[in-house]
Chain A
C-alpha cells in the first residue's frame, strides 16, 4: 500500500501540464478504490476484533482522571491562586455584567417584583434603536417580533436569551474589533491569529462548553464566555478583511498627501471599512445567538433551555413554540444589523431629502422611547406582558396536532425513507466502522489522508487517530463518524443538484438564495424540532437535521463555483455541440472542483457540529456522551473525553479535506 500511495505526492504539488494531472487523477482514484477494497476484505476477516467498544456507563482511566480533576477543581476553586485571582475574577466580571443586563430587561432585581424595564420599554427601545441604526421597516419588524415573544408567553425567556446575547456580543466586540484592526494592519499579527481563528471556527460549538464548565462552573457566566469565544472570531476576521480590502491606491493616496499612520487609519481605513465591520457585528450577533441557545446545556437561562427541556421530554409543541421565538429573534437581529450596514449608503443615494428632518425626528423618537421606559418602569401593565401567552399555547397545540397528523398519516413515507437510508447506508457503514479493528480503521484513515491530502494531512490524521483511541470513546467516535459521513454524502448530493441548478440559472438562484440565507441564520437547535416530529427520536433525525443545517452552505459554495466558470468556456463547449449534461459533467463540475472540495469541507464540519447536537434526540454516541456528561457527575469525565473526540474528528476531517482542496485547487 505504501508504495502505491507514494506516487501522488511526488507528482503532486506542482504538475502544471494537463497530461500529468490526468495521469495523477486516475492513479489517485484507483488507489482510493484499492484501499477501500482492502478494508472490506480485512473487515470480513477481522470483524468484531479489537473494536474498543465501551458500554454507556463504563469509564476508562482517563475519564476517571478527568472526574478527579473536576472534583479537585471544585474543591480548590476558592483556594487556588490561579482561580482566586484570575478565573474567578473573570467569572465575577462576566457574571455582574450578565446580571446587570438581566436585571434591566429579564429578571427582577432585588426589591422589585419585575425587571427595571418592562416589556413596553423594551419594545420601545428595540423599535427606536432599529430605526436609528436601520430604517423604519426594520423598526416595525423589531416591534412586531418583540411583541410576538410576549404573545407567545415567552417574554422572560426571550429577554434572558437577549440579555445573554447582548452581554456576550458586547464583550466579544470589545476584544474583536481592536484585534481585527490590528490583524488588518499587521501581516505578522494576521499570520499569528489566522490559525487560531480557523481552529476556533472549525470546532463544533458544543465542544467549548465542557472545558469551560470546568473552569467557570455551570451557569450564565460560562455560557457567556463560551458565547464570547464563539462570537469573536467572525468579527475579528471580518474586521481584518475589511481593513485589508480598502484599495491600496486609496491608502497610498493618503500616504502621498503626507497623512500619518493615525490619520490614514482614522480618515481612510476605518470609514471605508465601516460597512463591512458592521457585517462582522452581524455575524457576531448571529453566532452569539446560536451559541446562547446551545449553552442551555450548561444551564444558561432563556429560550434554549425551554427547547432543550422540551426536546428531552419529546414535547414537540413546546419545543416548536420556543424554537419559533428563536427564529423570530434571529430574523429580527439579522435584519436590523443588515439594515444598519447598508443604511449610510442608502441614505446617500436618496438625495438627502429627509436628512435635515432626521436629527429632530431622532430626538423626538428618543423622547418617546424614554417615556415608554419610564412607564414600563413604573406601572405594572407596562412592565408585565399582559395576557397569559395564549398565542403560544395555540402554536404549541397546533404544532402538536400537525405532528400527530404527520405521524399518523406520513409515518409510512417517513419511516420508509428512514428505513431505506438507515438500512442501506447507515447501518452497513456504521458496522464497517465500529466492527473493524481500531487499527484497521486508523490505517485506512491515514492512508486516505495521505492519498487525498498528502503527507502532512496523513501525519495529522495519524496523530488524531492515536488521540482518539486515547480518549477511550473510539467506538462512539466511529458511530458518530458514520452518521457524519452519511450525512455529508447526502449534503453533497443536495449541494451538487441545487448548486449546479443555481449556478446555471440566475432565476433559480434569485429564488433559492434568500431561503438559504435565512436557513443559515437559524441557530442549529431549531432544525431538530420539525424532524423530531417527523422521524421520532432516532439517529436518523439527527442526520436529517444535520443535512438541512449543512446543505445551504454547500449549495452556496457550489453554486458560486459553477457560476465562476468563465462564460467563454461554457460558450466554447456549447459551440462544440455539447448537450447540457455534457456541459455540466465535462466543463462546469470539473472546473469548479475546488469549490466542490471546499463544499465538502464546510459540509463535513457543519454536519459534525449538528450530529453532536443530535445527541439530544437520540443520536447517541459522542453527542449523547457529552450531554450526559453535563447532567451526571460520574459521567463528567467521559463527556469531556467525548468533547475532545469531537474536536479531534473535526480537526482530522478539516485537515484532510482542506489539504485535498488545496491539491485540487493547485
Chain B
C-alpha cells in the first residue's frame, strides 16, 4: 500500500488548492481506541501492523491511521468508505467530538488539538457545525426551537434567534412546519431540521456524517439535490461522509477513499475512476457509468501522423457523455485544447470504448 500513499500525496496538489490556503489541513492524524493508545502512532513497529494484528498484540483498535489531507475553501470534500473504515471517527476527530490520538488538525492556521475547552466551544459555536446520520434532534422541542438550539447555547436573545431560525427554516424548505415536533415529521424532513440547525449559526464549515443513509432512496436524492442547491446558495465549505459512491461522485469536488482507517486514494471523481490507486478502488468504481464521470482528458490520445487536425475543438474537462454527440457527429477526430494548446485528440473509437464498453481508460 506504500506506493499508493506517495501517489496520493502527489495528487493532493490538485488545482483547487492553489486558489487559497486550505480551510482545514489534516496532518498525520491517528485515532486509536484501547488501552495505552498513545504508544501506537509513535511506534514504527505497531504502525506497520494490520488492524487484526494490532488488536491481537495490544488490544487497541486503530480507527484512523495516519491520514493527511487539505480541504479548500468552498469545496465539498467527501470522505468515502465502507462501514468500519473509520470515516465517521475521522470526521469527529476534526471537531474533537472524538479526541484524536496523534497528528494535527489545522484550522485558520491553528492546531485545533491545542485549543482549550473554551476555544473549542467557541469554534463549535461559530465556525463548525455538523449534521448527523440519526439527526440528533430534541424530541421535546418544536422545529423552530430545535433550529435555534445552537444560537440559544451561544446566549443569543429569544427574538433574535427565532428570527434567524425562521429564515433558515425557510431556506431548507420547511416553512409551515415551524411549530411541529420532530416525531411528527418524516425522516427526510427531520434531516432538513438537522440541516437547518447546522446552518443557523452561519458556520464556516459544515460536517455531514452520513446524513442521508437513514433515508429512503427517493428522499435521499432530493436531499442530495438540496445540499447541492445550498452549496450554490451559501457557498460553505463542506466535509461530507458517505458510504455511497454515487453520492460521493454526485456531491464531491474531491473524494477521499478510506479502508481500515487508512486513506487509499484522494482525488476528484474522474481521477478515481480514470486512475484507481489500487484494486480496492477499481473494484469500487467498477460499476460507475464511466461516461458520466470521465472527462476527455482521460480518454484522449496523442495525435498521430495520419490524423487530420481540423476537427472541432473541446476542453479537456468536458465530460465524455456531453462530448459524445459532437465527437460522433464530426467526421474528423475532436481536438482537446486547453489555453490554445493541443493536448490530444478524441475519435469515435475512444468515445465508444467508454460509452459502450467498460474496458480501457485505466
Contact = CB atoms under 8 A, between A and B. Distances in A.
Interface string A258-269: 111001000110
Contact of B136 (A247, A263, A267, A348): A247
Nearest to B92: A252
Interface string A235-271: 0000000000001011011111111100100011001
B236 interface: no
A272 interface: yes
Contacts of A259: 121, 153
A254 B154 CA distance: 12
B121 A254 contact: no
B188 to A, nearest CB: 17
A257 B97 contact: no
Contact of A252 (B123, B132, B138): B132
Interface string B135-166: 11111100000000110111000000000000
Contacts of A252: 97, 132, 136
B138 A257 contact: no
B97 A256 contact: yes
Interface string A188-200: 0000000000000
Contacts of A274: 140
B134 interface: yes
Contacts of A260: 121, 153
Given A252-B97, A272-B140, A257 B132 contact: no
A253 B152 contact: no
Contact of B123 (A250, A258, A271): A258
A256 B136 CA distance: 11
B149 A267 contact: yes
B320 interface: no
B137 A250 contact: yes
A256 B138 contact: no
B129 interface: yes
B125 A257 contact: yes
Given A250-B137, A271-B138, A272-B138, A256 B152 contact: no
A249 B137 CA distance: 8
B242 interface: no
Interface residues on B, range: 20 to 34
A288 to B, nearest CB: 28
Given A267-B152, A272-B140, A256 B124 contact: yes
Interface string A211-249: 000000000000000000000000000000000000101
Contacts of B194: 253
A271 B153 contact: no
B122 interface: yes
Interface string B4-41: 00000000000000000000000000000000000000
B181 interface: yes
Interface in A549-582: none
Contacts of B149: 254, 257, 267
Contacts of B140: 271-272, 274, 344
A258 B123 CA distance: 8
A312 B138 CA distance: 55
- The A interface is mostly helix, strand or loop, or mixed, namely helix
Contact of A256 (B126, B128, B137, B181): B128
A267 B153 CA distance: 9
Given A255-B124, A257-B201, A258-B153, A249 B138 contact: no
Contacts of B97: 252, 255-256
Contacts of A272: 138-140
Given A249-B133, A268-B138, A271-B140, A258 B150 contact: yes
Interface string A264-286: 00011001101000000000000
B138 A258 contact: no
A274 B138 CA distance: 13
Interface centre among A247, A256, A348, by most chain B C-beta atoms within 10 angstroms, is: A256
Contacts of A250: 136-138
A50 to B, nearest CB: 52
- The B interface is mostly helix, strand or loop, or mixed, namely mixed
A252 B98 CA distance: 10
Contacts of A258: 120-126, 150, 153-154
B195 to A, nearest CB: 12
B126 to A, nearest CB: 8
B90 interface: no
Given A247-B136, A267-B149, A256 B130 contact: yes
B134 A249 contact: yes
Contact of B95 (A256, A268, A271): A256
Contacts of B150: 257-258
Nearest to A344: B140
B240 to A, nearest CB: 15
Given A258-B121, A258-B125, A259-B153, A253 B132 contact: yes
A254 B138 CA distance: 9
A249 B120 CA distance: 19
Nearest to B125: A258
Contacts of B137: 250, 253
B181 A257 contact: no
B46 to A, nearest CB: 27
A257 B152 CA distance: 10
A257 B134 CA distance: 16
A639 to B, nearest CB: 50
Nearest to B140: A271
A268 B149 CA distance: 10
A449 to B, nearest CB: 32
A263 B139 CA distance: 16
Contacts of B181: 348
A276 to B, nearest CB: 12
A352 to B, nearest CB: 9
A263 B133 CA distance: 23
Contacts of A247: 134, 136
Interface string B85-125: 00000000001010000000000000000000000111111
Given A252-B97, A271-B140, A348-B181, A257 B135 contact: no
B238 to A, nearest CB: 15
Contacts of A257: 124-125, 129, 149-150, 153, 197, 201
A95 B149 CA distance: 46
Contacts of A263: 153
A272 B123 CA distance: 26
A643 B160 CA distance: 64
A254 B135 CA distance: 11
A200 B134 CA distance: 38
B140 to A, nearest CB: 5
Contacts of B138: 250, 267-268, 271-272
Interface string B190-207: 000010010001000001
A259 B129 CA distance: 12
Given A249-B134, A260-B121, A254 B153 contact: yes
Contacts of B153: 254, 257-260, 263, 267
26 contacts: A247-B136, A249-B133, A249-B134, A249-B136, A252-B97, A252-B136, A253-B132, A253-B136, A253-B137, A253-B194, A253-B197, A254-B153, A255-B124, A256-B95, A256-B124, A256-B128, A256-B129, A257-B125, A257-B149, A257-B150, A258-B153, A259-B121, A259-B153, A271-B140, A272-B140, A348-B181
Interface of B: 95, 97, 120-126, 128-130, 132-140, 149-150, 152-154, 181, 194, 197, 201, 207
Given A253-B130, A272-B140, 12 more contacts: A249-B132, A249-B135, A253-B137, A255-B97, A256-B97, A256-B129, A257-B153, A257-B197, A257-B201, A258-B122, A258-B124, A267-B153
Interface of A: 247, 249-250, 252-260, 263, 267-268, 271-272, 274, 344, 348
Closest 5 CB pairs of A and B: A253-B136, A258-B125, A258-B124, A249-B136, A257-B150
